[in-house]
Amino acid sequence: MTTAQSFRGRALSALTNQIGVYALCDLDGQPIYVGQSVDGIRTRVRRHLTSARSDVIANRQIDVWEIAFVWAWPVATTAEVEPLERSIFAHFDAELPLMNGKAMVTHQSDLTWPEKQVVQVIEEEERQSRLTPSTRLPRQIKQYDLLVDYILTVKEAPHLKRSLDAHFERMVRYHQRFL
């Protein structure tokens, strides 16, 4: 096991395994994906980060390399999960489009969010090195290309095109930093 995997494993062990909503956040601390788990947030996030049974990883919507933080909002009952996910999704998708596997029907709500847990899943020195525009931009261009290829050769679907659009918007930001 590499040092990076060991760090991630320790970080994830600190993440709640209650049911609730989570956000996978990029190197800038910006959410790129919002999801829910009714069988434990830690369990679900671990599947994303290891590409085990994670559609958003398998169909190239998210590059695990870009994920530096996980935010979690645990709740007490399953009835709270879906409204909270919609509220959190709407909030962050309005700031910068998310790369979710489905386009969620959203509306801004006055729902009060539970306290957020924040876990950094890569070491800070590594995160800083990945922020270098000359490293990050080529990586994101490649990820964009992988998603285009997936859409053209495997499945053309509106939610994948929505993710492609979200990637493009982020790639423009990385491009500007590169220049």
How confident is the model over 15-37, as a mean pLDDT?
Answer: 96
Q: What is the pLDDT of residue 54?
A: 60
Tens digits of per-residue pLDDT, 113-153? Answer: 999 999 999 999 999 999 999 999 999 999 999 889 989 99
Mean pLDDT of the chain: 89
The C-alpha atoms of residue 135 and residue 82 are separated, in whole angstroms, by: 37
Query: What residues contact 67, with CB distance under 8 A and at least 6 apart?
Result: 24, 25, 26, 32, 48, 49, 121, 122
What pLDDT sits at residue 5? 82
* Sequence spans of domains, the chain: 3-178
The CATH code belonging to domain 3-178 is 3.40.1440.10
Give the separation between CA 30 and CA 26, rounded to whole angstroms: 5
